[in-house]
Amino acid sequence: MTTAAATALLALSLGVDAFTTACTFSQYKCGAGLVAIQGYNNTELTNAVNATGPIPPLQANQLLQVLYRCTDTNGGLAGNSFCIGGCMSMPGVSDDQCAK
């Protein structure tokens, strides 16, 4: 096993977050933006969705269309809603939203 692979395995086993920039407490953000801009990964998004009762298990591509709520100052997430019509990033506004 390479050093990089061992480090990645250790990070996953210890529950270390992969994001590069934590989302801001109490903001609502689309999964696509959390991945592309803030460095969250599918595991973090899946865990947030699975911990939210009303959202059923989703495919990886569907995780990007979920509106997530930032639950703490450490980058914690909760799935807020699956945006059937798509999740819209709102530049210049603190919260993203589901398309109508």
Tell me the Cα Rg of the chain.
14
Query: Average pLDDT, stretch 4-12?
Result: 36
pLDDT at res. 17: 65
The structure's pTM equals 0.79
How far is it between the farthest Cα atoms of the chain? 48
Q: Is the pLDDT of residue 8 over 80?
A: no
Mean per-residue pLDDT for 11-23?
65
The partner residues of 29 in beta bridges, in order of sequence, read 68
* pLDDT, tens only, 60-72: 999 999 999 999 9
- Among 52, 16, 84, 6, which residue's Cα sits nearest to residue 97? 84
